[in-house]
Chain A
Amino acid sequence: DIQMTQSPSSLSASVGDRVTITCRASQNINNWLAWYQQKPGKAPKLLIYKASNLESGVPSRFSGSGSGTEFTLTISSLQPDDFATYFCQQYDTYYTFGQGTKLDIK
């Protein structure tokens, strides 16, 4: 099984802040990595696929980077709508998700 480890597990930030979330895979996943945003009571929403590709309709303040086993999701300037939980997911060998990063208002 490929394990996905996110850090931090929670994060407090303010509107306008730049935020970075890290995801580490237990082995090389060949950039088959996605990022999702989830709000309470809703299904996850795809933000980034193949490590750095922005899903259609997702604001450009979201970006993804990384390769091999280490990846990051960056929000360049936090907006009120961005306070949510974020998950990474590998899809190199089946699918596994990180445990999530809860982003709340400072």
Chain B
Amino acid sequence: QVQLHESGPGLVKPSETLSLICNVSGGAITSYYWSWIRQSAGKGLEWIGRIYASGSADYNPSLKSRVVMSVDTSRNRFSLKLTSVTAADTAVYYCVRGALAGFGTWGQGTLVTVSS
């Protein structure tokens, strides 16, 4: 059974870059596509972007200018970078496996707070 686990700093300073990694275990990252989704009290659930094992990525148009996702198939993991963060980027960040049948597998989530 595939499991996802997010890791990264829980506190990021305003204007800096948020960086998270999602480790995939129990299955190959070369199948499916992989997304980041965040959840905050203010904006609810918000899709950030998705990436395929090939490295091809799509991003939420509202975040596109600040987001970069990458994939490392040798380590079975993918990552998120969000630049120029503000307090509005404070949220629980989830890595998620996607398919035509919806988002069936989620990580446990990691809280990232943007504060000086």
Contacts and interface: CB of A to CB of B under 8 A. Distances in A.
User: What class of interface size applies to chain B in its complex with A?
Assistant: 10 to 19
Contacts of B109: 43
Contact of B45 (A42, A44, A49, A55): A44
Contacts, number: 51
Contacts of A49: 100-102, 104
B101 A44 contact: no
Nearest to A35: B102
A95 B108 CA distance: 20
Q: Is the interface of B mostly helix, strand, loop or mixed?
A: strand
B103 interface: yes
A97 B102 contact: no
Q: Which 8 A-B pairs have the closest CB atoms?
A: A34-B102, A43-B106, A49-B102, A97-B45, A95-B47, A49-B101, A46-B104, A46-B102
13 contacts: A1-B61, A42-B108, A45-B106, A46-B104, A49-B104, A89-B103, A91-B102, A94-B47, A94-B60, A95-B37, A95-B47, A95-B103, A97-B45
